[in-house]
Structure 1
Amino acid sequence: MTPIEVELTRIVRANSGRILSALIKITQDFTLAQDALQDAITQAIAQWPESGPPQNGGAWLYVAAKRRAIDLVRKESRHHADATQQILTDLQHDQDETAEWEQDIPDERLRLIFTCCHPALNVDAQVALTLRTLGGLTVREIARAFLASETTIGQRITRAKQKIKNANIPYEVPNHEDMQARRAGVLTTIYLIFNESYSAYEGQSLTREDLANEAIRLCAILNRLDPDPETAGLLCLMRLTHARRAARLDAAGDFVPLDKQDRSLWDQTEIEAAHAQLLDVFANGQFGPFQLQAAISALHCLAPSWAETDWQQIFALYGALAAYDPSPVVRLNQAVALANMGGHNKALEQLNTLEAELGNYQPFYAARADILSRCGEEKAAQIDYDRAIELSKNKVEKNFLFQKKSALAASLKNNK
């Protein structure tokens, strides 16, 4: 990419959500708003190499997209004059469009977040539509991030927009009664985007930093526009997790588990800022699952070393988390914490009760293999490592598990 294209991409990512939300608010049409913005981007690609990027690229794109939206609505008005006249009037209400962008346009992204994550849409559609509209990611970028074809992602987004239109899903922030339930769905969608950034990218890499950054950015927007302890908790959780990203791979690109990571590579400034934010959230006295997960992550981040990690408090926090989410995955993590406190045999007993529920979950077999090896059951551990390797879809994680199994086999051979 040329420097101009890099700068344009940055400006689009930073401003597309606000531009689209402003246009959708007036036109009530996702497709028209996105077409107008895409035409503005195409115009920028043609003009900026000669004129250079404008001083305020976001305002430039907004003005160009708004003018294009007016053209598109005028074409539509030939067939539906009555229905589109008010839209035209609203679009043309201000002649000083740059000043309008700077001062008068309200931030409508909160409406857009709740519309994209409406429960009438399935989760896959929510994720794709959120990344396309609020994140400014292209269909190709979303497809590569989720290991899907561009056709599949494109169809998913098209169907989502059509469902919003056909079902008359309102472009609005939910009322007070519905807000809490709807917010939980929005947070889940954002967290899915973040988690995807730490899984496979074309089956090879372990992280996709831009996707993680986008999830953090979206959550920060939501937290600013609609402050809530759980929203802030999720934001802290993602910031703390992402602050450790530089230590997750070594120079050869191999996975480094938490207990072996070079903690000097962690972003201590970000950790301290996220921890301070989390303490402020806890001061409100309203707790929830994302806040508890953030507290667990904070204990890992603040420990000077693996050996000095406060496993007793982590074990207790997983117990508290189970009250909100009594899922087998939470119980798995609590059993791992118990093993790290020294209760290997009791942890193994707890893990064995989860196999029926987690029979196709790779982390279960990886965790049990590790604890089996600590209990001296090396052959059983090798079987679990084989199952974990079979279930892993990520080359980096697969290689790590294979190395663990090989080291265990070598140890067995040497002890004979």
Structure 2
Amino acid sequence: MNSAGLGASIIAARPAVVAVLAARFRDLDLAEDGFADAAELAMRHFADAPLPANIGGWLHVTARRRIIDRLRREARLTQLIAEQPPEPEGGDMDAVSLFDEQIPDDRLRLIFICCHPAIAPEARAALTLRVVCGVPTERIAAAFLMAVPAMFQRLTRAKTKIREAGVPFETPPPHLWTERLQAVLATLEIGYALAFQDAASSEPTADLGPEVLRLTDMLAELLPDDPEVLGLAALVQLAEARRAARVDDQGRMIPLSEQEPALWNDRLIGSAASLMRRAAQIGQSGPYQLMAAIHLTHSRRKGEGHTDWLAILRLYDMLMVLRPGPVVAINRAVALSRVEGPEVGLGEIEALGSMQLERYRPWHAARAHLLAQTGDRVGAAEAYRAALALNPARAERLFLEMKLQETSA
């Protein structure tokens, strides 16, 4: 098997294996390190050899042995080692899931587990993205508008809390799902946002987009009476519906307003509209439903030939009430510029300026776009350079470089 195929198989097995290791050793760091050791060995061992029938089982057994060896070498947790059951002859190659079928997916189970209420609310989504999805700490820090050392400390504290508080690594019963649901939804939202930034699906987080689509669809089936679950599922479907239109022939990102609607996926748009109708019938509005409504309004350009920017601005006004924050404010400013002119939108963008947003690439990109529209080419070029300095994915980088050229000509 080639290295790309082998790597994909290992990544796919990660959630189940880490879940089992974490449940057994009650330590996320041990679980992650053990999996990393097993994955590294697998990449060498199977580079020129056929994969075993159950790569997850192989990784689980190998990681478990590496962890026990490490515990013995470090001469600690002797009681934990003594409690380990005898190693079965030939290895327990099929023991890759400890969980019942209340949540019929290993990754979704582990998300619910990592969103335990004992963990600080601000750490749950970040921890889950790191442990369950394997997102690098640097990318998580950028998503939360935090410095990398601060995010590393947050993750470390969360893992320590799990270890010291004896948080159980087991699927919560359905009556306890509600207390974890907001953190689960936030995790899926941020995970999808990380993937969505990579328009060409060329980054290590490329698989997160289709994966979050699958998980939100599954969550909507498990909790069909929760309007916010339906709203998030609709939001992801609407964003994924535009995947085929997001890059041009040169691999450059195409902004939403310039995409070719004929390339948008009618099936996903129709499914999202159906989910939103179901959510509306329940009658409890929330931020995910509002975000989905914004995306659905954009999707109507396919049939109507234009975008109702005033409706989008009104939706952002409501979203600012329910979930105020810099990301929503930036998007609202862009919508405002479409309704009242670029000078007005730029004024809103400039008013948001802060040290926190200096690390947020979309703020620089939106500012550059509006500066260019007002005729300030020098300021626009400077803002495009600031956005490029923040490590965009390839498709966005190519787009920003093109815009920089245009403003610098």
TM-score of the alignment, normalized to the shorter chain, above 0.5: yes
Cα distance, 1:257–1:137 mapped onto 2, change above 3 Å? closer
Equivalent position to 1:7, from 5, 14, 20: 5
1:63-142 equivalences under 5 Å are 63-66=61-64, 75=72, 80-86=77-83, 88-89=84-85, 97=92, 100-101=95-96, 109=107, 112-114=110-112, 116=114, 127=126, 129-136=127-134
In structure 1, the partner of 2:208 is 214
Deviation at 1:261, TM superposition (A): 1.9
Query: Gaps spanning 5+ residues in structure 1: where?
Result: 408-416
Q: Which moved more, 1:175-184 or 1:301-310?
A: 175-184
* SS of equivalent to 1:355: helix
Q: Percent identity?
A: 30
In structure 2, the partner of 1:296 is 294
Code of the residue aligned with 2:367 in structure 1: it is: Y
In structure 2, the partner of 1:392 is 387
Cα distance, 1:4–1:266 mapped onto 2, change above 3 Å? same
Distance (whole Å) between structure 1 residues aligned to residue 203 and residue 93 of structure 2: 33
Distance (whole Å) between structure 2 residues aligned to residue 318 and residue 151 of structure 1: 33
Deviation at 1:164, TM superposition (A): 3.8
Q: Deviations over 1:177-208 (max 9, x none)?
A: 99657543443344334333455x8xxx9764
Cα distance, 1:287–1:15 mapped onto 2, change above 3 Å? farther
Equivalent position to 1:362, from 358, 361, 364: 364
In structure 2, the partner of 1:352 is 347
1:7-406 equivalences under 5 Å are 7-49=5-47, 52-66=50-64, 75=72, 80-86=77-83, 88-89=84-85, 97=92, 100-101=95-96, 109=107, 112-114=110-112, 116=114, 127=126, 129-136=127-134, 161-162=159-160, 164-166=162-164, 171=169, 182-199=180-197, 208=202, 210-214=204-208, 216-218=210-212, 220-221=214-215, 224=218, 227=223, 228-304=226-302, 307-327=305-325, 329-334=327-332, 336-337=334-335, 340=338, 343-344=339-340, 348-349=343-344, 352=347, 355-358=350-353, 361-366=363-368, 368-369=370-371, 373=373, 378-379=374-375, 381-382=376-377, 385-386=380-381, 388-393=383-388, 394=392, 395-402=397-404, 405=407
The question of whether the paired residues in 2 share the 8 Å contact of 1:328 and 1:354 is answered with no
Cα distance, 1:211–1:267 mapped onto 2, change above 3 Å? farther
The question of whether the paired residues in 1 share the 8 Å contact of 2:243 and 2:264 is answered with yes
Distance (whole Å) between structure 2 residues aligned to residue 104 and residue 125 of structure 1: 21
Name the TM-score, length of structure 2 as normaliser: 0.70
Code of the residue aligned with 1:344 in structure 2: it is: E
Q: Say which one has the larger Rg.
A: 1
Name the TM-score, length of structure 1 as normaliser: 0.69
Q: Which has the higher contact order (CA 8 A, sep 6+)?
A: 2
The question of whether the paired residues in 2 share the 8 Å contact of 1:237 and 1:297 is answered with yes
Code of the residue aligned with 2:205 in structure 1: it is: L
Q: Which moved more, 1:184-193 or 1:166-175?
A: 166-175
Code of the residue aligned with 2:10 in structure 1: it is: V
Aligned residues: 386
Cα distance, 1:11–1:255 mapped onto 2, change above 3 Å? closer
Query: Gaps spanning 5+ residues in structure 2: where?
Result: 358-362
Deviation at 1:293, TM superposition (A): 0.9
Q: Deviations over 1:115-134 (max 9, x none)?
A: 6456856968954x534532
Deviation at 1:251, TM superposition (A): 2.2
The question of whether the paired residues in 1 share the 8 Å contact of 2:294 and 2:315 is answered with yes
Code of the residue aligned with 1:362 in structure 2: it is: H
Code of the residue aligned with 1:184 in structure 2: it is: Q
Cα distance, 1:224–1:97 mapped onto 2, change above 3 Å? farther
Q: CA RMSD in A?
A: 4.8
